[in-house]
Amino acid sequence: MKVVFTDLDGTLLDSENYSFRAALPALKHLKRNNVPWIMVSSKTRAEVEHWRAVLGNDHPFIVENGGAAFVPSGYFPIEVAGTTRDGYTILEWGMKHERLIAALDAASVSSQCAVAAFHHMTVQQVAVACGLPVEQAAFAKMREYDEPFQILDMSRSKQLLAAIVEQGLCWTRGTRFWHITGTNDKAEAVRAIAGFYGRTHGSVETVGLGDGPNDVAFLRTVDVPIVIPSASSSDLMQLLPKGILARFPGPQGWNEAVLQRVAHK
């Protein structure tokens, strides 16, 4: 059995306009052949639920850089330990958002490095920064386990990131933003969900697709790590000895890679 774990922005979704049109052939193949594909994103639950509805995805999903995983109730025929709420079993690894924004503000002050974080921005400002409709920007601000931010003074960036680490927290970088998180990452959540498939179906081959630095950890955990071309590609390939570089960026590269590695392998 194959299971696909995929990032969204810059991977399945075009980094500029969020289109997935070029990936439709592969998406239809996955649906037709009952291949589970799991969204693994820095996006919030509300954002991912939007994309699940648009794309007809009814599988588990991972949000906010591994802050939590949401498993639809009854999805697996085994017990999934977690909090039951809103039709999901929820597995949480992330730190509460209030703690993260307080730590980011403190790190900004102590490092004398200005940041523009989501909690500083209005919905309209997030919409402009992300190129999103206002409704989706509102979803993006519904953070629970992760806070995106922009560094406004790159000359002080090292001091800022060090100040985050000094508080026992972590940072990572996505396609558009830096993120402050707890000690969670996408990899831990991917391992947990892959484990449920393994317990249910026996032998499972995992395929992962991502394009940014915050995808490296989970790409290291999968059997077939696929790097979607981006400004970070060369760095990712150096960090992933087994990495396969797709030929095209965004959904075009995603489509070809999935059809080659899932449909014909």
Exposure string (b/e) for 150-180, b if CB count within 10 Å is 16 or more? ebeeeebeeebbebbeebebbbbebbebbbb
Question: Residue 184 has which token pair?
Answer: 């969670």
Q: What torsion do the CA atoms of 212, 150, 129, 169 make, to the nearest 10 degrees?
A: 60
Residue 262 CB neighbour total at 10 angstroms: 21
Residues noted as catalytic = 7
Separation CA 140–CA 119 (nearest Å):
11
Task: Count CB atoms within 10 A of the CB of residue 74.
Answer: 9
